[in-house]
Chains A and B, each alone.
Chain A
C-alpha cells in the first residue's frame, strides 16, 4: 500500500473554474508535506510546504490545507488557467529520515 495516495488520478476542468486535489498519507510521524507542480516533460516545482503544525498555506491561486489528525491534505486551485495543466504531486517527508515519499500525482487538464 502506498504511503501517499492522491485523488483523483486525473481531472479535466474548464478554464476559470476552481478545483480541489486530495492527498491522503499514512507516513507517521512526518516532518513536512509539500505540493509540487510538474509540467509535462519538466522537473517538479515546489508550490507549498507545510509542517505538521500548519493548517494552511497559500501561494497565489494555490491554497494547500493540512489536517494532521486525519492525515489528509488538499490543494485548492482558484480561477484555473490553461497554464495550470500539469501533474500535481503530494510529497511527505518522514520525521525519521529525509527520504521524501512521493504520491502518484493528479493529472490536471484545464480546457478553454
Chain B
C-alpha cells in the first residue's frame, strides 16, 4: 500500500480563483510527478521533481506551477483557474535510487471542475 496522499479529492471552483492541489508522500521518495488525465484518456506529465528545490516542466504544457520545498510535499498551484483546467490531477512518487524496476506510486487523484 502506497503512502501518497492528495487533497482535496474533489474540487468545484469558479473561474479566476487561485487553487492549490496538495500532494504528500511518507515514503521518503526523491522523485515526484504531477499528471493530468481527462476522462477516458491517457495520463500526461505536466511537472516533475527529482528532489528538494528541483522542479521541471513535463511533456504537456500547463499553466500550473509547482514547488518542492520539502521532500514529502509537492503542491501544484493554479493562479487563475479556467474551465479548460477541468480535469483529474494525479500525483506520483518513486525512489530516486538508480534502478530500472522502480514503480511509480500514485495518489488517489484530485478531480477539478472549474465553472
Q: Mark A residues whose CB is within 8 Å of B.
A: 31-32, 34, 41-46, 49, 51, 89, 93, 98-100, 102-105, 107
Tell me if B75 is interfacial: C-beta within 8 Å of chain A: no
Contact B42 A99 (CB under 8 A): no
Query: How many pairs of A and B residues are in contact by the CB < 8 Å rule?
Result: 50
CB of A16, distance to nearest CB on chain B (Å): 26
Distance in angstroms from A35 CB to nearest chain B CB is: 11
Bound-state CA distance A42–B92 (Å) is 12
* 6 other A-B residue contacts (CB within 8 Å) besides A43-B106, A44-B106, A105-B42: A32-B100, A41-B88, A43-B6, A43-B92, A98-B31, A103-B42
Select A42's contact among B42, B91, B108, beta carbons within 8 Å.
Answer: B108
Which residues of B from 93 to 115 have beta carbons under 8 Å from A? 100-101, 103-109, 111
Q: Which 8 A-B pairs have the closest CB atoms?
A: A43-B106, A46-B103, A31-B100, A104-B42, A102-B43, A102-B42, A44-B106, A43-B109
- Choose one: A41, A45, A93, A99; the contact of B106 (CB below 8 Å): A45
For the complex, is B81 an interface residue (Cβ under 8 Å from A)?
no
B45 on interface, CB distance cutoff 8 Å: yes
Across the interface, do B109 and A41 meet the contact criterion of CB distance under 8 Å?
A: yes
Enumerate 30 A-B pairs (CB-CB under 8 Å) in ascending A order: A32-B100, A41-B108, A41-B109, A41-B111, A42-B108, A42-B109, A43-B4, A43-B6, A43-B92, A43-B108, A44-B43, A44-B106, A45-B106, A46-B105, A49-B101, A49-B103, A51-B100, A51-B101, A89-B42, A99-B45, A100-B45, A100-B104, A102-B42, A102-B43, A102-B44, A103-B42, A104-B41, A105-B40, A105-B42, A107-B40
Q: How far is the CA of A107 from the CA of B42 in the complex (A)?
A: 11
Expressed in whole angstroms, the Cα–Cα distance for A34 and B43 within the complex equals: 14
* Of listed A49, A93, A98, residue having the most chain B CB within 10 A: A98
Nearest chain B CB to A90 CB, angstrom units: 10
| Complex-state Cα separation, A102 to B92, whole angstroms | 14
**Within the complex, what minimum Cβ distance (angstroms) separates B74 from chain A?**
14
